[in-house]
Amino acid sequence: MWKTAIEDAVAKTRRNIESFGDLFPHVGEGGGDYKLNPNTDWTDGFWSGMLWLCYEYTGEAVFRDAAVRTVESFRQRLAANTALDHHDIGFLYSLSSKAQWFIEKDEAARQLTLQAADVLMKRWRPQSQLIQAWGPEGDPANGGRIIIDCMMNLPLLYWAYQQTGDTRYRDVAVTHAEKSRRFLVRGDGSSYHTFYFDPETGDSLRGGTAQGYRDGSTWTRGQAWGVYGFALSYRYTGNAAFLDTAKRLARYFLERLPRDYVVYWDFDAPVDADTKRDSSASAITSAGILELLEHLPSNDPDRDFLENGLLRSMRGLIERYATIGEPDAQGLLKRGSYSVRGGASPDDFVIWGDYYYLEALMRMDRGLCGYWYE
């Protein structure tokens, strides 16, 4: 099953290279082809990551050449400081230039990635001890705001510490991860999408959401970011609290799988025939559980539950949501949601869903685990 799905994904990615040219896919438009942009969105690294995965899997120059072109695009983006005033720098550069460093040990790619880490460090707010998610420093709405997505951007900083020995990168990443653990993750293993702090004093204010059903609900993609992000923070730090947090988030997620094993967009949204799914949340969580399982002993009491949930989720994606057998489809997974709350591509292809689906498949089949760590 995994092999068939991978071959289908590789074939679609190969065909998309010509279709996309020098542009980057973002989300589908009304269930059709991908909207493209000239490397100006937070999602553009996922296309690079797919190209590098396909190159590692096949060894074909067509994938490497396309991936290298994206890295050059990211070099130009950083030089021009285009649309980098946010915390998603790790999504952009971990899967593009850092991937090239991992695969080819290209020194220019390494230097570009370290420069990207410095851009992310500019989001650090020492007064409130957090990485500000969105907006400029001092922004009245976002000045003290964190979101759970940032857990997947922290590996860029952990890696920069390993490369340079500069403890500032590690200290910022660990402090932000600990704050996220304490305030974004609830006692029952569910999560807030976002949390607000006083930007001057750092005092905690309230949890909320920008994407979920309501402030106190659990947005499934946010939960997925947490599963994978905390597992990666454990890999880099060895802090058992991060491993326990990843397990609790994963258990909460898997305990609420619907009958076809692919989640709705929010665990608290009323379910009827029109309720939107988010296949990307299931793909991210599957990739995150694969990471989590690497750190659990064979006799861990949660291991069987997590393994079974992973298999159910991946089979659900392949059998009911993948575009296998649809050769003209640009995307790999149907029924991803960008923003149900905002009415933006609520039931479409989403490039991050495609990336994590492919990463999970390749990890299961070949041990290729993406570009979050060496």
What is the end-to-end Cα distance of the chain in Å, rounded?
28
- Catalytic residue check, 8: no
Of 314, 316, 319, nearest to 363 by C-alpha is 314
Q: Which DSSP string do the residues of 265-321 spell out, in sequence order? A: SBTTSPPSTT--B-HHHHHHHHHHHHHHHTTS-TT-TTHHHHHHHHHHHHHHIIIII
Of 82, 152, 71, nearest to 113 by C-alpha is 71
On whether the CB atoms of residues 171 and 155 are closer than 8 A, the answer is no
pLDDT one-digit tens code per residue, 32-54: 899 999 999 999 999 999 999 99
> What is the mean pLDDT of the segment spanning 259-265?
97
pLDDT band at 29 (very low <50, low <70, confident <90, very high): confident
> What is the mean pLDDT of the segment spanning 56-81?
98
Please give the backbone phi and psi of residue 7, each rounded to the nearest 5 degrees, phi first.
-60, -40
User: Is residue 258's pLDDT more than 90?
Assistant: yes
Measure the CA angle with vertex 315, ends 314 and 317; round to 5°: 65
| Catalytic residue chosen out of the listed positions 33, 44, 88, 348 | 88
> What is the mean pLDDT of the segment spanning 237-257?
98
pLDDT band at 356 (very low <50, low <70, confident <90, very high): very high
Token code pair at residue 153? 């951007």
On whether the CB atoms of residues 86 and 61 are closer than 8 A, the answer is no
User: Is residue 31's pLDDT more than 80?
Assistant: no
- Residue 243 CA to residue 361 CA, distance in Å, equals 23
Residue 237: per-residue pLDDT: 98
Residue count of the chain: 374
Please give the backbone phi and psi of residue 61, each rounded to the nearest 5 degrees, phi first.
-60, -30
**Beta-carbon count within 10 A of 348 CB:** 24
On whether the CB atoms of residues 184 and 212 are closer than 8 A, the answer is no
pLDDT band at 289 (very low <50, low <70, confident <90, very high): very high
What's the DSSP call for residue 322?
A: B
What's the DSSP call for residue 227?
A: H
Q: Which DSSP string do the residues of 166-185 spell out, in sequence order? A: -HHHHHHHHHHHHHHHHHTB
| Catalytic residue chosen out of the listed positions 41, 44, 149, 266 | 149
Assign domain 2-366 to its CATH architecture.
Alpha/alpha barrel (1.50)
- Residue 25 CA to residue 350 CA, distance in Å, equals 8
**Which residues, listed in sequence order, are joined to residue 131 by a DSSP beta bridge?**
124
On whether the CB atoms of residues 334 and 24 are closer than 8 A, the answer is no
pTM of the model: 0.98
> What is the mean pLDDT of the segment spanning 97-107?
98
- Catalytic residue check, 85: no
CA 221 vs. chain centroid, Å, equals: 9
Residue 149: per-residue pLDDT: 98
pLDDT one-digit tens code per residue, 300-340: 999 999 999 999 999 999 999 999 999 999 999 999 999 99
- Residue 125 CA to residue 131 CA, distance in Å, equals 6
Of 147, 152, 87, nearest to 116 by C-alpha is 87
- Residue 231 CA to residue 85 CA, distance in Å, equals 26
**Beta-carbon count within 10 A of 288 CB:** 29
pLDDT band at 30 (very low <50, low <70, confident <90, very high): confident
pLDDT one-digit tens code per residue, 170-224: 999 999 999 999 999 999 999 999 999 999 999 999 999 999 999 999 999 999 9
In the chain, domain spans: 2-366
**Which residues, listed in sequence order, are joined to residue 339 by a DSSP beta bridge?**
344
What's the DSSP call for residue 218?
A: -
pLDDT one-digit tens code per residue, 126-158: 999 999 999 999 999 999 999 999 999 999 999
Token code pair at residue 129? 């001890």
Residue 22: per-residue pLDDT: 97
- Residue 249 CA to residue 225 CA, distance in Å, equals 10
